[in-house]
Structure 1
């Protein structure tokens, strides 16, 4: 159980096209919902050549250049879309990300402009602002900053998270494996 005097902040590093990342987001959100007043979550779409290579290897994908490019582009564009959605609020950003991930990962729908718009509407985003931000150099800059922040916090793979608890003492724990809500309860 989390002591009410403790504050918990979770930095979640995800590959937005990865099923394991979606499952871990759900687990972390379960934990956050249970301790809403004392918990904050920040999601970083973290993707680079190493995380993509591990993703392809874990899913037994052939290392064909066309598939590599497709997955890299999907992860990159979905990361930009998530950041553009988050500009309208962290909660709306999470709702957008979960909506589009469920459509892509569970329903097996490919990333498309229609899917982006459908998911943005589900998250109640201002569509004009979302589409403008999605294509803006500012969002690209924020993506680059997110990659730098993820690396600075020690992330090397997805899904992973950094759990920071404050109270009588401050403690930070980097977990580079799948965690459940129960794992987080035991940690804090």
Structure 2
């Protein structure tokens, strides 16, 4: 089984594409894939989000608050199930990134309704200590896994190794490299998006992944 932790900027276009790449991979693998989209909020993310070259303290604080509220909303949605939480995050990203809507209470509530969330429970959880604690736990996990930027993933092949691979650029091509390196599937079959239910898998992992694929690093 593959276990994937993708660390995401909740309002980032690159991260949204990385999420879709992981969903696409899960759809085309016969091997079970367990994945989590873990929200990340760093000073670097805030800096990148600000359009001005010399933002004021008030602008920094406002940007941080926007991202923080988006993350807490995502955590509140997750409390009602991983699938609902994931759908809520993707819908939120689509609304803000593709449709250029601004984050607001009205937008969040509308998306929560569209995702068939229990609205009273969602609103209560959105501002709860539990959501805030969950956010802090995510940031600690990112630090433990040495995450320095969003759209980074840590991938474990639970069948063959206790060590994870850190992938700093989660393109579909790079994910295919990981699967081939771990003996899960051939890159050719995944790139062609074939249904390879009859394909054989190998239980062989290599410790030289970072040398063969520059975007991979052993943890």
Q: What are the within-5 Å matches in structure 2 for residues 19-168 of structure 1?
A: 19-35=13-29, 38-53=32-47, 55-56=48-49, 61-65=52-56, 66-168=58-160
Q: Which one has a bigger Cα radius of gyration?
A: 2
| Aligned-partner SS, 1:85 | helix
**Hey, what does 1:3 align to over in structure 2?**
none
Q: Is the 8 A contact 2:2 2:31 kept in 1?
A: no
| Aligned-partner SS, 1:156 | coil
CA RMSD, 1 decimal: 1.7
CA distance in 1, matches of 2:30, 2:84: 16
Closer, same or farther in 2 for the Cα pair 1:36/1:61, shift >3 Å?
farther
Could you state the TM-score of these two structures normalised by the residue count of structure 1? 0.88
How far is 1:29 from its partner? 1.2
CA deviation map 1:128-165 (0-9, x unaligned): 10000001111111111111111111111111110111
Gap regions ≥5 residues in structure 1: 1-6
**Hey, what does 1:174 align to over in structure 2?**
166
Say how many residue pairs are matched.
178
CA deviation map 1:42-96 (0-9, x unaligned): 111100213322x24xx75433124323321111110100001000011100000
CA distance in 1, matches of 2:151, 2:86: 15
How far is 1:110 from its partner? 0.4
**Hey, what does 1:186 align to over in structure 2?**
177
Q: Is the 8 A contact 1:11 1:162 kept in 2?
A: yes
**Hey, what does 1:15 align to over in structure 2?**
9
Gap regions ≥5 residues in structure 2: 180-219
Could you state the TM-score of these two structures normalised by the residue count of structure 2? 0.76
How far is 1:171 from its partner? 4.0
CA distance in 1, matches of 2:144, 2:45: 16
How far is 1:121 from its partner? 1.4
| Aligned-partner SS, 1:91 | helix
User: Would you tell me which structure has more helix in proportion to its own residues?
Assistant: 1
CA distance in 1, matches of 2:55, 2:143: 27
